[in-house]
Amino acid sequence: MENLALIDSFSEFKDDKLIDRVTLMVILEDVFKNTLKRKFGSDENFDIIINPDKGDLEIWRNRVVVKDGMVEDSNQEIELSEARLIEPDFEVGEDVSEEVKIVDLGRRAIQYLRQNLVAKIFEHDSTTIFKQFKDREGELYTAEVHHIRSREIILLDDDGNEIILPKDRQIPSDFFRKGDSIRGIIELVELRGNKPRIILSRTSPIFLEKLFEQEIPEVFDGLITIKKAVRIPGEKAKVAVDSYDDRIDPVGACVGMKGSRIHGIVRELGNENIDVINYTNNIQLFISRALSPAKVNSLKINEETKRVEVFLNSEEVSKAIGKGGANIRLAGKLTGYEIDVFREGIEEDIELKEFSDEIEGWVIEEFKKVGLDTAKSVLELDVADLIKRTDLEEETVKDVLRILNEEFEK
């Protein structure tokens, strides 16, 4: 096989991997140098000439003519009698350039050359993909379901790149079949060995922000700024928005008439309940807004501990805490403060701390964390709800209810 024919056979990799011909020639030169070094011990006395237009390659070995029987390095030197077979007028001390045919390298060398070429092209391909997607971290991306596994979904984009959607980056209500298109953000791009691993996420708050940019023109144009977004994926989210144009109502623009603008985002996120609130530098007002839909009477902030005591009417406490404590947790994340909720206007009630001789202190603290700081606030809820909110054991909850009920029965 001639050099040109062999190069053409290697060029199939160019078509498969979409590598331009010039890049392929550069890779080929490096691969041939490695092959020559492996076979002859050195590639320093070889000239590799590549014609990218024709896809042709020539290899020339340069050796010095020495007297017969005086060759010490057959790769660097050639006997006079052998040199004169190439050109009859060669003399001792002259340089001889001799073309090396690829087929003359031997079957094993050609096999090594081909394996090395595949490895180099794969390395080039992986590096290119890694750089391409590394620059796209945090961007909205769409790919198609190729294979579903127990811990992750394998996606393919339009260029055949493999994208990973791990189970913990999926919204709990997500359900996909092969061939479905999935949107998410490129959360992480890393190299595992020489292979790029591209992680897609649907649970990141950034995904929510990017959906706002895509669905709401004022956000896309920069007229409305998302100051911060926090989520409990698939359950609830809070988004603080602001506008530098007083003529624009940022909340109204994001929600739309009867929720028309935000509806598509809610549907994409598995009916995640999204609260959009106006951002303000007034931290007291911001915390009050963050606890929406609850109405706050007053609050007391401790800047050193980043804690805030919020006082509400009895009927507002459950709204402030939310189902499973979701509302108060998100409000804390949004504002950066640990929030403690207290009731106001409670008559004939007893604070839980008064039961410290019968109920362990850590149990009382668990109730207080979710705004249950009085006996009646605990007794208003059933066992299942208390377990869900506090994450206490059923036996502990029942014991607390028994103690509190006995007090009021007296």
Take residue 155 and report the two structure tokens written for it.
């996606």
Report helix, strand or coil for 242: strand
Q: Is 213:219 a contact under the CB 8 Å cutoff?
A: yes
Report helix, strand or coil for 278: strand
Give the pLDDT score at 147. 93
Q: Is 153:175 a contact under the CB 8 Å cutoff?
A: no
Could you give the CA distance from residue 18 to residue 376 in angstroms, rounded to a whole number? 70
Q: Is 198:216 a contact under the CB 8 Å cutoff?
A: no
Q: Residue 400: in which H helix or E strand, if any?
A: helix 394-409
CATH assignment, 3-132? 3.30.1480
Give the pLDDT score at 4. 45
**Beta-strand runs (E) in 109-255:** 140-148, 152-156, 162-166, 181-192, 195-201, 224-232, 236-243
What are the sequence ranges of the domains in the chain?
A: 3-132, 138-203, 205-279
What is the residue-level pLDDT of the chain in tens, covering all 410 positions? 444 445 555 555 544 555 666 666 777 778 888 888 887 888 888 888 776 556 567 888 899 988 888 888 888 888 888 888 888 888 888 888 888 877 767 777 777 777 777 777 777 777 778 888 999 999 999 999 999 998 999 999 988 889 999 999 999 999 999 999 999 999 999 988 778 899 999 999 999 999 999 999 999 999 999 999 999 999 999 999 999 888 899 999 999 888 889 999 999 999 999 999 999 999 999 999 999 999 999 999 999 999 999 998 877 888 898 888 899 999 999 999 999 988 776 556 788 888 888 888 898 888 888 888 888 888 888 888 888 888 788 999 899 888 888 876 65
Cα separation values, 295 from 158, 315, 320, Å: 49, 10, 8
Cα of first residue to Cα of last residue in the chain, in angstroms, is 104
Using the 8-state DSSP alphabet, how is residue 353 labeled? Answer: G
Could you give the CA distance from residue 88 to residue 75 in angstroms, rounded to a whole number? 21
CA 189 to chain centre: 6
Q: What does residue 48 show for φ and ψ, rounded to 5 degrees?
A: -110, 115
**Beta-strand runs (E) in 217-272:** 224-232, 236-243
Q: One-letter amino acid identity for 263?
A: H
Q: Is 66:78 a contact under the CB 8 Å cutoff?
A: yes
Give the pLDDT score at 383. 87
Is-same-fold flag (3-132; 205-279)?
A: no
Cis peptide preceding 172, ω within 30 of 0: no
Q: One-letter amino acid identity for 207?
A: F
Q: Residue 49: in which H helix or E strand, if any?
A: strand 46-51
For residue 145, give the nearest of 122, 187, 174, 172 by alpha carbon: 174
Take residue 60 and report the two structure tokens written for it.
């020339």
Q: Tokens 């290899």: give the residue.
A: 59
CATH topology of domain 138-203: OB fold (Dihydrolipoamide Acetyltransferase, E2P) (2.40.50)
Pairing mode, strands 181-192 and 140-148 = antiparallel
15-47 residues labelled b (16+ CB within 10 A) or e (exposed) = eeeebeeeebbbbbeebbebbbeebbeebebbe
- Edge-to-edge strand ranges of the sheet holding 298-302: 298-302, 307-313, 338-344
Choosing among 3.40.47.10, 3.40.50.1470, 3.40.50.300, 3.30.300.20, the CATH entry for 205-279 is 3.30.300.20
CA 136 to chain centre: 10
Q: Is 103:90 a contact under the CB 8 Å cutoff?
A: no
Give the pLDDT score at 1. 40
Take residue 68 and report the two structure tokens written for it.
């017969």
* Other beta carbons less than 10 A from residue 130's beta carbon: 18
Sign of CA dihedral 386, 388, 389, 391: positive
For residue 143, the cross-strand partners are 182
Give the pLDDT score at 2. 46
Cα pseudo-dihedral 7, 12, 15, 20, rounded to 10: -20
Q: Tokens 């839980």: give the residue.
A: 352
